[in-house]
Structure 1
């Protein structure tokens, strides 16, 4: 066991799920049981977050066979197991909606590509993100643990992975949301509509006008999209996204999603 810091006599013993250990300080990640000073007043949730694990990443807190709430006041010597959130995590009613911090712009474009309502304000601070997530009932996705530990946050999730494609896989594996590829503007999150060539021809370069026939246009920002040289890469990304969701649902025993629509880029 390892004791974190000083404090009054008495300790609370924490056993984090291996999937949560990367949140701990490096020197403690291999320690199976942490002895944390218990001040007799802090809630269990506060204690868990004090070692670096956001409650958004915790699926269950238990002592023996007894489930514990984050508001539970632990007693000295109590042993608590900290489980990682179960995947797929249950989504709120209605179509899923996400809010990302500015550092996840590349992930935002990928989430929109597969049809997920995703906002990524370029200049919002932490407080503004938390407030908007609550007001619009959006799940806040971030790699900033401090934001996830804010008391007013409605719902959030830590994004794992350094590469945008890996981050997309992590989000889809965690939530297994219904996808609707090619229906949202990757740039602004607006809805795409099929557009006749005559409607957009004046916006196209001569080479594009000669080469392509199928177009869509964003109803919000007016950008025009067509199947370009990068189309194969995007199709591969969408297909991988579908496989991730289907595999997660199948593993969880939910079967396949009712519909995974395809489309054009």
Structure 2
């Protein structure tokens, strides 16, 4: 059944998902046909916007829930999610196979960031998000539309540095640099040189004094050649978001 038409206005932050023209107030507006039975949440998703990215929904200026059934003539305003976004505690993330660099950078900052590699499929990712109460980070809109996920967020950029800024500004997680294994997400503990010497390349044990080891996978860390680059990532994040 064709029940008429509504006007939907999108916040500027959501223009990556939709391509309609602006209404002159910074929002993007488009006429949308409705069937009289579909919820407003379904209508918004059908236009390409994951509900994970939607903040307040308003109909003719009044806030409504995603379960609202729109009727002909209504004007709907779709706001972007607020930043910082209220987050569950403890805040834990799950990243899909395309976000490996972001996962390592989050772990570098001491943030619990599980990462699936190889790809286990959308259904298994969604199930893990629900079972472990993890916020699913992805650039896959279809994955974020799965009803079973615990919580989710679209990662807007292809660039790791911008991705990290995106997540930190949105969720404002507590930072604890150098406390988590970038390889497996386990916790790090200080380690004596002799205790880890067997895990070190030749002469490394004689060149460095400070070591840490992952309690889960045994990976050993020290301030080697790449430390300056990693320290710059940490310093930038701490300066902006700590």
TM-score by length of 1: 0.86
Structure 1 Cα separation of the partners of residues 59 and 30 of structure 2 = 14
Deviating more after overlay: 204-213 vs 11-20: 204-213
For 1:149-199, what per-residue CA distance to the aligned partner results, in whole angstroms no more than 9, with x for missing partners? 112222100012111111011000100111111000000000001000010
Structure 1 Cα separation of the partners of residues 66 and 81 of structure 2 = 14
Q: Which residue of 104, 123, 126 corresponds with 1:109?
A: 104
* Residue in 2 that maps onto 1:121: 116
Structure 1, unpaired ranges of 5+: 1-6, 247-265
1:67 aligns with 2:63: yes
1:97-246 superposed matches below 5 A: 97-122=92-117, 123-246=119-242
Q: Is the 8 A contact 1:214 1:226 kept in 2?
A: yes
SS at 2:76's partner residue? strand
Structure 1 consecutive aligned stretches of length 4 or more whose deviation exceeds 4 Å? none
Q: CA deviation at 1:207?
A: 2.9
Q: Is the 8 A contact 2:21 2:29 kept in 1?
A: no
Structure 2 Cα separation of the partners of residues 50 and 42 of structure 1 = 10
1:18 aligns with 2:12: yes
Structure 2 Cα separation of the partners of residues 33 and 180 of structure 1 = 42
Q: Is the 8 A contact 1:22 1:29 kept in 2?
A: no
Q: Which residue of 21, 29, 35 corresponds with 1:39?
A: 35
SS at 2:153's partner residue? strand
TM-score by length of 2: 0.94
Aligned residue pairs, count: 237
